[in-house]
Structure formats: structure tokens, C-alpha cells
Amino acid sequence: MRIAVIDSRAKIVRGDEVFDIAGASAGLFGPDAQDVYDQWKGFLSWADSADLGPGAAFAPEECDSPVPRPRQIFGIGLNYHAHQIESGLPAPATPLVFAKFVTSVAPAIGELVLFTDQVDWEVEAAIVIGTEARHVDKANAWAHVAGVTAAQDYSARDVQMRPVGTPQFSLGKSFPGYTPLGPVLVSPDEFENPDDIQLSCAINGRTVQSSSTADMIFSVGELIAYLSAILPLLPGDVILTGTPSGVALGMNPPEYLRAGDQITSVVGDQTQRHVAIAQS
Ligand code: ZN
């Protein structure tokens, strides 16, 4: 199953075509994508045998985030072995969790405003919750996941790291546009192994990050088990599962994004493209 949001309406993506969910279901599901996630199991069983009617041509650049307004967005810090080493920080004993605020959600393709002169890239696999997860065992965690999509956890390092002693991860990573998601949500069954998804990031065509989610310190199952023991994970909630090595912060000296830079981020078969622009 593949879900996109185009013109504020949830769509099923099949091949090169998109099908309007509210239209095909005569209003049973959608048009708001959140309504589809809120009824995820029922939606899947309907979609299994539904006649979707005529499709329209799929264009990734028309997609908004496949989850336009998640109620909760979690970020995970230092969750790849090589990135933990480049950061110079000790390996975490439990997941390092921060929040990203919903006004930072943006489309997968578009412009990235450089609100400070220390904006960095972090390609990440994003997990979207399908059915509410509370006290979920890691072995059952994937059953609560609607799908995986590409994400960037764009980070203004100067804001993130100040003041010393009480870093502000949630603010430094929540400028408008700093959580692009999509273009398309891909359900876990479409991956040969959803715990081994390739991801990469290139700046102006030069690959700077390249890894697999298999290198994560805490797996998707462990993250969902950890978070759901503390609070309920709700349909449509998003977990950014951490970034592999190769961010600007790990360079000496760091080469942060400059106006005109082109950022290409790939997770599985989903590709994001952003062009960095100066703040007007
Ligand atoms: Zn991150």
C-alpha cells in the first residue's frame, strides 16, 4: 500500500497512477489523510478489494507530506553507530528522544529556507503509526506501523546546541520546513526487510550520507516498545528514526548549507529534493 496527499486529499498510489480515496470509497475514508490513519485496519481491508475507478497521473512534486498534521513527531538522536562515533558523544543506553513540532512538516520536494548560517542535513527513515501503540512488545511493533517514508531532520546547529548544558534539539530542528516527509508512504509489507532499508543524502550531487537502517543502535521495534511504554503512539504519529554518519557537524570544519545548494535525500525508493534559499 502506498499513500500520498495531493491538494489536501489522501490518495492511493499504484504504479504511475493515483486514486482518490474519498472518491473511490464514496466518503467512507478521507479525504483527510488523518481520517485514513484513524481507520487504518478498516481502510486496508476496504482497499484490498475496492474498485478504485479511473486514476490520475502521479507527480511526486505535487505531493504534500503523506501525514500533513501528525499529533506527535518524535526524533531520535545518535541512533546510528557511525554517526554516534562522528559526534564524539558516548553511545546512548536508552533512545535519545526529542520532539519536532508540527509546523515544521513540509513537502518532500521544494525549497529549504536557511534561517541561520548553521543549517545541517540529516536524512532519516520516518515511521508512521497506523494503529494506536501502548505497551507494545518490540516483536509486535511493526504491526502498528502504517508505513515508512523519507524524511529530513534539518537542523540549525547553532540553535540546537545552545545554551551549553541544556541543548535545544526540539527548537533547533523545528523551523518551518525542517521536517519534510514523503513524497509517498510505503507500507512495511512492500519491503523485503523493513529493518534493512537503504538511505542516502547528496549535496549538489556529492553523496555525503549512505547507510542502511540495519545500522541503527535501537531498531524500529525497540523504539516503538520504548516510546509506547511511556505514552500512547497515535495513528498518524511520526518517528524520525535517526540519521547515519556524514552530516556537516561531523566535518572539520563543518560545511553547512549555503543558498543554492541542492539536497537529494533517498530512503528506499522515495526521493526528496530541496533547494536551499536565503531567508528573505
Ligand atoms: Zn535526526
pLDDT tens digits, one per residue of 103-157 = 999 999 999 999 999 999 999 999 999 999 999 999 999 999 999 999 999 999 9
Å from CA of 58 to ligand 1 middle: 29
Cα–Cα distance for residue pair 4/279, rounded to 1 Å: 29
20-29, 81-90, 218-227, 271-280: least confidently modelled range: 81-90
Contacting residues for 70 by C-beta, under 8 A, at least 6 apart: 102, 105, 128, 236, 237, 238
Bond preceding residue 253 cis, omega within 30 of 0: yes
Tell me how many domains the chain contains.
Answer: 2
Cα 173 to Cα 38, 157, 180, 228, distances in angstroms: 27, 8, 11, 23
pLDDT at 163: 81
Nearest CA to 138 out of 60, 72, 53, 223 is that of 223
pTM over the 0.95 mark? yes
Å from CA of 17 to ligand 1 middle: 32
Same domain, 195 and 244: yes
Establish if 66 belongs to a structural domain. Answer: no
Same domain, 48 and 85: no
Same domain, 205 and 133: yes
Å from CA of 76 to ligand 1 middle: 6
DSSP designation for 114: E
Cα 219 to Cα 50, 215, 226, 250, distances in angstroms: 34, 9, 10, 23
pLDDT at 165: 84
Establish if 68 belongs to a structural domain. Answer: no
CATH number at residue 183: 3.90.850.10
Establish if 64 belongs to a structural domain. Answer: no
Cα 19 to Cα 12, 56, 216, distances in angstroms: 5, 7, 35
Same domain, 246 and 176: yes
Helix (H, G, I), strand (E, B) or coil at 205: coil
Å from CA of 42 to ligand 1 middle: 32
- For the chain, give the mean pLDDT: 97
What residues form DSSP beta bridges with 274?
A: 110, 263
Q: Which helix (H) or strand (E) holds 39?
A: none
Contacting residues for 65 by C-beta, under 8 A, at least 6 apart: 5, 105, 106, 107, 108, 180, 181, 182
The model's confidence at residue 89, banded by pLDDT at 50, 70 and 90, is confident
Same domain, 167 and 216: yes
Å from CA of 154 to ligand 1 middle: 8
Q: Is the pLDDT at 88 greater than 90, yes or no? A: no
Å from CA of 51 to ligand 1 middle: 40
Helix (H, G, I), strand (E, B) or coil at 136: coil
> How many Cβ atoms are within 10 Å of 57's Cβ, its own excluded?
8
Same domain, 258 and 145: yes
Contact indicator for 169, 156 with CB cutoff of 8 Å: no
Å from CA of 79 to ligand 1 middle: 9
Establish if 65 belongs to a structural domain. Answer: no
Å from CA of 118 to ligand 1 middle: 15
Å from CA of 8 to ligand 1 middle: 27
Same domain, 34 and 127: no
Contact indicator for 170, 161 with CB cutoff of 8 Å: no
What residues form DSSP beta bridges with 14?
A: 17
**pLDDT tens for residues 12-60?**
999 999 999 999 999 999 999 999 999 999 999 999 999 999 999 999 9
Å from CA of 133 to ligand 1 middle: 22
Query: Which of the listed residues 11, 31, 58 is the one where a domain comes to its end?
Result: 58
Å from CA of 35 to ligand 1 middle: 28
Bond preceding residue 31 cis, omega within 30 of 0: yes
Å from CA of 125 to ligand 1 middle: 10
Å from CA of 143 to ligand 1 middle: 24
The model's confidence at residue 257, banded by pLDDT at 50, 70 and 90, is very high
Å from CA of 121 to ligand 1 middle: 9
Å from CA of 226 to ligand 1 middle: 17
Å from CA of 95 to ligand 1 middle: 12
Å from CA of 77 to ligand 1 middle: 6
**pLDDT tens for residues 4-14?**
999 999 999 99
Establish if 190 belongs to a structural domain. Answer: yes
Same domain, 148 and 54: no
Q: Supply the range of the domain harboring residue 158.
A: 73-278
Contact indicator for 249, 153 with CB cutoff of 8 Å: no
Share of the chain above pLDDT 90, in %: 93
pLDDT at 280: 86
Establish if 16 belongs to a structural domain. Answer: yes
Nearest CA to 223 out of 100, 133, 122, 102 is that of 133
Establish if 67 belongs to a structural domain. Answer: no
Average of per-residue pLDDT across 154-166: 91
